[in-house]
Amino acid sequence: MSVQNAILQVHEMIIKAKDGRKVVLRKPKMSDVKGLLNFINSLVREDAPILCNRRMTFKEERKWLKGVIEDINKKRKIYLVAEIDGKIIGAVEIRKGRFREKHTGELGVSVIREYRNLGIGKEMIRAIIKLAKKDRDLKLLYLTVYANNKVAQHVYEKIGFKRVAVLKNRIFYKGKYINQIVMELPLKKMG
């Protein structure tokens, strides 16, 4: 079964936060544009360790979301939003590699500040990994994480990711250049 079919068959998944709240994981839809705009701009306002460092406009977010949905439909991406009481509080994605990298997927995850340290990000990653394992092409997941983001690194290690490289001075964040750590998680046997 392809990941796309798996997501279509399971329109949403429920996970529990450490505080007992129900978190709904589901595919995004065009009606999420305002919620996703609030989500990304919340991360930008808090200066979270993400690549985006400026607020997005509604028009930009709508265009971006249209592209995400197209990528999901064309099986180039797996993407889930996380909601609590109808509010988008997180997102997790795997961007599938192309051509000679088609066996790889790049994982990205974010949760807004007030919902961190509740185990939500870790469960989001576990849920998307389950979907990724159903994709016959994906054999290896990788991610990059800011070297100073020790909490995220610890979460990734608990899930099974291993450090494989350091990209020196890759990110300019809070007035200084910092390294990125590359981590990998094999999904299937290779070689």
In a domain, 149, yes or no: no
Helix/strand/coil (H/E/C) assignment for every residue in 24-44? EEECCCHHHHHHHHHHHHHHH
User: What are the start-end ranges of the H helices in the chain?
Assistant: 3-9, 33-45, 58-73, 120-133, 150-159
Which residue range is the domain that position 48 belongs to?
A: 3-139
Q: For 110-126, write each residue's pLDDT tens digit.
A: 999 999 999 999 999 99
> 117 lies in a domain?
yes
Query: Would residue 153 count as lying in a domain?
Result: no
How many domains does the chain contain in total? 1
CA distances from 26 to 7, 16, 31, 70 (A): 8, 14, 13, 16
The pLDDT tens digits of the residues spanning 32-66 come to 999 999 999 898 998 888 888 889 999 999 999 99
Name residue 115's amino acid.
Answer: Y
Q: Strand 104-111 to strand 140-146: parallel, antiparallel, or no bridges (unpaired)? A: parallel
Alpha carbon distance 174, 47 (integer Å):
8
Tell me: pLDDT of 7 over 80.
no
Whether pLDDT at 10 is above 80 = no
- The reported pTM is 0.89
| CATH code, 51 | 3.40.630.30
Residue 70: phi and psi, rounded to 5, are -65, -45
